Amino acid sequence: MAPKRAVRLSPKKPSYALCAVGVETYLDVHSDVPKGAENFGVSGSSGVKIFMAYDPARVTEPMGRAHWPLDASVDVVISVDAASKALNDLKVKISYFGQPAGGALGHSVLYLTGADISLDADTGRTGKVKRTQGDKKSWRWGPEGYGAILMVNCDRDSLRSTEMDLTNTQLTSLDDLQDMSPVVLTCDAPDELFDSYKLVLNVPLSDSKRMRVFCARGGNSLLDYKQVLGPQHLSYKVARQPGERKIHLYVEGLSFPDADFSGLVSLSVSLVDTKTLPEVPLFTDTVAFRMAPWIMTPNTQPPLELYVCSVLDAHGSNERFLNDMSDLALRASCTLMVCPRVENRNDRWIQDEMEFGYTEAPHKAFPVVFDSPRNRGLKDFPYKRILGPDFGYVTRGTPLSGASGLDSFGNLDASPPVTVGGREYPLGRILIGSCLPRSSGRRMAKAVRDFLGAQQVQAPVEVYSDWLSVGHVDEFLTFVPTSDQRGFRLLLASPSACLKLFQEKRDEGYGEAAQFDGLEHQVKRSINEMLADKHLRNDNLYAQSCIDWNREVLKRELGLAEQDIVDIPQLFSLRGAYAEAFFPDMVNMVVLGKHLGIPKPFGPIINGRCCLEEKVRSLLEPLGLHCVFIDDYLSYHKLFGEIHCGTNVRRKPFPFKWWHVVP
């Protein structure tokens, strides 16, 4: 509400004023008084609340029929709690007295009209608009917080449209209203009042490109919802109809938070006196909103849909891999979504193209696909095939220098909820692969990093992935859900664990067992040969040092202990200055609840079983996980990727509400 204002009274003639419900008004009873007046009394209509503001150290409250001293330190404050039925139907009278007490020396009369003007949104975050006299102008995080929320209207509800809903200045579907935040404008006052006053809705210039406001005008057709505020529309004179007491508005978000946008916007209504020049707003009611963020889901959230591409290359189609994914999805009770060749243009790396997340307000939530700057064969798939009713889309532009390998979203991951040094991250933290601090190596595009940080609810952590040829975090880490109290484990690729395993098998007499046994297109390497290969050993000492650096970062930034980490045996080899997986990278798996689709490593066969597979089973199955090893060697591994790179998973949103976070 507006700050308190003062109305000057005079005993020479009546005064008239408008008083908004809930707004305190000072009465100036000192400037124009009868000669000889030293005291005054106040009376008023039953609909007027009157109270005195004074300093008890200087003024003693009068007793009985005594009057207040006509002292500058005593103020009269009034308010009304309901709208008037007619103009000037409320009254306040100030009576002035001299000394000794006698008859009144004169009277000042004020006629009031009460107007109930209010702008209300879901500031209590209950999913419903409720009238409140509390603080609507500010926005507070946390479980005890308050403030209204806008969702970015980034889906496409009308099947006739080819664009996101937020690009339209007119409604294309009534379903679109569900993606907006309802606001109620109360405008209860005698109709005659609006002959001299008008209601004006306003948005600040800086906010006008971030939000749009539609006004409902009676009917239930698309044409009954008119855009009144938004880009290039900063104010709107409300077209109030006679007898109309409430007007329904719908507020649409246009932009996610970003480096140049905190996410906060506001909407105001002013009651403006048109009798004066310039016109003067008598008071203003303002509601602040925060734009709902884009939230990424970690592997520990239950799967809903598994995406994979159908492709054809020199080795034939990946039909066998698709069948394996179909079986895995069936076990995990999630839906398999196959992107056909005509839509992927033989680009199989669907994890690199996009990342699934969601956005949420108290009244609504929907998934949002984040399209990477990568832009290869799959570049049109997120926009053309995934964007739709209640499925949003967001992207950030390609750097001027062009996208690098680290701009692919295999280079993004999210941790489960963690607590770090007493600070809670109930939605986890986003992990971004990067170069070493203060080095000039490869990094993810600044536009993407800025966007992820600006969401505020999943504080990003940069880890070191630039040591890898492809350079993605999914090549050396992943998270899996577990059935114990901790609820998850971090899996790290471990050359040390692999070399130790091979040494144990050699010592047990299996030194001639060969890596790549069973593969037709790969030279076999015995355990003895691999352990004797100094170049391979040195390559893996280097790879282990890089992973160890990340291990310490992850323990520090995610509050992890050693028992939260599982080392998965894996070898790497250097090509030039960068590392590649020596055999299919088992950490680069797809996680569907307790079912893990793990790249088949084709490790040494001992007693009829792959010793690498057996080691991984022994590490993960006691945690309640089911390991399914899938052959991706020709279709993915030989092309410098694995199962995680070639799949994507949409998951259930967190049950935790992001507005309860304290950033």
309, 339, 610, 645: the active-site residue: 645
Residues with Cβ within 8 Å of 302's Cβ and at least 6 positions away in sequence, in order, are 593, 651, 652
At residue 233, φ and ψ (nearest 5 deg) are: -130, 95
Give the three-class secondary structure for 377. Answer: coil
Residue 141, number of CB atoms within 10 A of its CB: 17
CA distance 590 to 72: 76
Give the three-class secondary structure for 205. Answer: helix
The answer to whether 248 and 184 have CB atoms below 8 angstroms apart is yes
Terminal-to-terminal C-alpha distance of the chain = 28
Task: Determine whether 645 is an active site residue.
Answer: yes
CA 483 to chain centre: 29
The answer to whether 239 and 298 have CB atoms below 8 angstroms apart is no
CA 154 to chain centre: 13
Which tokens is 70 given?
Answer: 């006509």
Nearest-5° Cα angle at 639, 638 to 641: 95
Burial (CB < 10 A; 0-12, 13-18, 19+), residue 448, is buried
Residue 558, number of CB atoms within 10 A of its CB: 20
The answer to whether 614 and 503 have CB atoms below 8 angstroms apart is no
274's enclosing H/E stretch is none
The answer to whether 597 and 630 have CB atoms below 8 angstroms apart is yes
Which active-site residues does the annotation give? 645
